[in-house]
Amino acid sequence: MRRRLLALLCVTGSLVSACGVLPGGHDRQTVTVWLMKDSASDDFLRRFTEDFERTHGDLRLDIRIQEWTGIVEKVRKALKADTGDGPDVIEVGNTQVPLYVEDGRLTDLTLESMRDWGKEHWLPGLAEPGKDGNNQYGVPWYAANRVVIYRKDLFEEAGITAPPKTRDAWLADTRKLNSAGSQGIYLAGQDWYTLSGFIWDEGGELAEKKDYDWRGTLSTPAALRGMDFYRRLQALGEGPVDADEEHPPQAGVFAGGKVAQIIGVPGLAQSIVRQNPGLKGKLGFFPVPGRTAARPGVVFTGGSDLVVPRNTGDQFAATAVVGALTGAKWDTELARTMNYVPNKTTLAAAVAGEEGVAAMAAGAAHGRATPNTPQWAAVEADNPIKGYMTRVLGGADAASEARRADRRITDALAENLG
């Protein structure tokens, strides 16, 4: 009972000196772990802590929950602290890893990743942002990505018996749904994450590195094809061309009107049903369709990686925690508990029984992340992609607007170098 109480006290982040000593006076090495708020439930953390400390008799966990607001500067400060004074393991957003790699303050986990952690099966949208060249610094933990949330009853009324598996079929079905007072799809004009998937699906990129310099690439033929598909799909509903999916929140729009589809994470379904209980049992999910039925469309993959600061007081202990949290046992348990996608394609079967998560996992198998450069944050801060989308949807020439956006992306990436 005393052991259980100590674990519970430690997992909440309480600084209790007694946590460092087991009954009988045996000292343990404390491993400080920073995890983000709401990434894992209290019950999951309690069970993980008990299991880890039982199987690692010389270690104890001090898990401290962090807020997303202001986390970048807080992590950077911790990475510069004296050895042993800061966290030993840190959860970071997958696209944040390049921000910390550039300072040379993360531990290179390439060997462990290849030898022990099966990196060949990691989701690419989590693994790629964690790399710098051939070196792996971020270890994938969990993922989430967009799917299509749809009204089963409206599909049935339109005579659609199964979700579409190709983009052409998706357009055709959405045209059928966009009638009789219903919107075929609600797609805001500035949902640039969704656009990114269409661009990647065509073989394009948002930006590319050439001769050590990053350049915007929205004006390439492949990227323009992605924008054209977005334009055609967005026109089959009443989404505002000058706003993103949060203005207004698309879950509320879906709940309040006759909208057949939206693109979002499956968790939005809970918000939709809360706002309109009459939709309970009427919502379904399918992966964003691809160009062919051979595989779903490429999607932006969000989620988290785990990193180990170079200034950790015990790298061996820190990597033991990373290995346990991202290993098959606890990674699948986290996915089931929190409705996430596990970090490996080989673990997708663990969430196959949950329709929304299974749809996510299908897309995440070949999902992507934003360009792997710490300067990308400067692009998002004053995002030229949003304005580009609005102007094209308003009738402007796509190629000209893409070149204009490319110049702004290139400038933003260059201005923040060094």
pLDDT at 124 (0 to 100): 97
Q: What is the mean pLDDT of residues 329-350?
A: 97
What was the pLDDT predicted at 27? 73
pLDDT at 304: 98
Name the nearest CA neighbour of 377 among 10, 102, 14: 102
The tally of CA atoms less than 13 A away on the side-chain side of residue 234 is: 28
**Please, are residues 324 and 330 in contact by the beta-carbon 8 Å criterion?**
yes
Q: How far apart are CA 215 and CA 192, in angstroms?
A: 18
pLDDT digits (tens, 9 = 90+) for 115-165: 999 999 999 999 999 999 999 999 999 999 999 999 999 999 999 999 999
| Cβ 268 vs Cβ 250: under 8 Å | yes
Mean pLDDT of the chain: 92
Alpha-helical runs (H) found in 298-397? 315-326, 328-338, 355-364, 376-381, 384-393
Beta bridge partners of 264: 147
82-103 average pLDDT score: 90
**Model pLDDT, residue 4:** 32
First to last CA, the chain: 53
Question: Bridge partners of 391?
Answer: none
Confidence grade of residue 104 (pLDDT, cut at 50, 70, 90): confident
Q: What is the mean pLDDT of residues 260-276?
A: 97
349 class by beta-carbon count within 10 Å (0-12 exposed, 13-18 middle, 19+ buried): exposed
What does the angle CA 266 – CA 136 – CA 39 come to, to the nearest 5 degrees? 30
Percent of the chain with pLDDT over 90: 89
Residues paired with residue 31 on neighbouring β-strands, in sequence order: 61
What pLDDT score does 140 carry?
Answer: 98
211 compared with 125, residue with greater pLDDT: 125
SS3 344: strand
Angle subtended at Cα 363 by Cα 244 and Cα 296, rounded to the nearest 5 degrees: 100
For residue 225, is pLDDT > 80? Answer: yes
| Encoded tokens for 244 | 């993103």
CA distances from residue 281 to 152, 252, 263, 352, 361 in whole angstroms, order as listed: 9, 17, 18, 19, 22
* Distance (Å, whole) CA 172 – CA 164: 9
271-308 burial code (b ≥16 CB/10 A, e <16): bbbeebeebeebbbbbbbbbbeeebbbbbbbbbbbbbb
Segment 168-196 shows an average pLDDT of 96
In angstroms, rounded to a whole number, what is the distance separating the alpha carbons of residues 141 and 304?
6
Residue 33 has what DSSP assignment? E
State the pLDDT at residue 5. 32
Residues 6 or more apart whose Cβ sits within 8 Å of residue 81: 311
Q: How far apart are CA 374 and CA 239, in angstroms?
A: 32
Q: Does pTM surpass 0.85?
A: yes
Looking at residue 137, its amino acid is: Y
| 289: DSSP letter | P
Q: Is the pLDDT of residue 411 over 70?
A: yes
- The yes-or-no verdict on residue 26 having pLDDT over 60 is no
What per-residue confidence (pLDDT) applies to 7?
36
Stretch among 77-86, 190-199, 255-264, 344-353 having the lowest mean pLDDT: 77-86
Q: How far apart are CA 75 and CA 92, in angstroms?
A: 9
Q: What is the pLDDT of residue 6?
A: 33
Both tokens assigned to 334: 């986290």
